[in-house]
Amino acid sequence: MVEVKSFATTRRFDAAKMQKLALFESERFFCDIYCLLPGQEQKPHAHEGSDKVYAVLEGKVEVRVAGETATLSQGEAALAPAGKEHAVANRSGAPAALLVFLAPPPSHG
């Protein structure tokens, strides 16, 4: 059976903080939806041994990877290679939503 999810029913925004919503997860990767209102951001961090992709579904975000910054719009994506510090922020005046893929998932044991 094909597992199907809806962006429209999964995504949600919260004025208190950026939302990280699980969409798919396996032993080899996970995919979340990040929902950011204007001014919200994810703090800089890194994943040793895991690559991350930010893909914009709606709106515009600023992605920082290894000290370099790029502005991404709907339909654009950016790679944060394993071990490189990265962050995402919504500096625009409108809500933004992204698909975020991480492979392999970091171990939490």
Domains in the chain with CATH codes: 42-109 (2.60.120.10)
**Secondary element (H or E) of residue 9:** helix 7-10
Structure tokens at 10: 């999964």
Beta bridge partners of 69: 64
Helical (H) or strand (E) element with 13: none
Confidence of residue 32 (pLDDT cuts 50, 70, 90): very high
In this predicted structure, what is the pLDDT of residue 106? 78
pTM, 2 dp:
0.91
Name, in order, each residue with C-beta under 8 angstroms of 106's C-beta and a sequence gap of 6 or more: 47, 48, 49, 50
The encoded tokens of residue 78 equal 């950016």
Q: Cα separation of 19 and 15, whole Å?
A: 9
Query: 43 burial class (0-12, 13-18, 19+ CB within 10 angstroms)?
Result: exposed
Residue 82 bridge partners (DSSP): none
Q: Are 97 and 31 in contact (CB under 8 A)?
A: no
Sign of CA dihedral 83, 42, 60, 74: positive
The string of pLDDT tens digits covering residues 42-93 is: 999 999 999 999 999 999 999 999 999 999 999 999 999 999 999 999 999 9
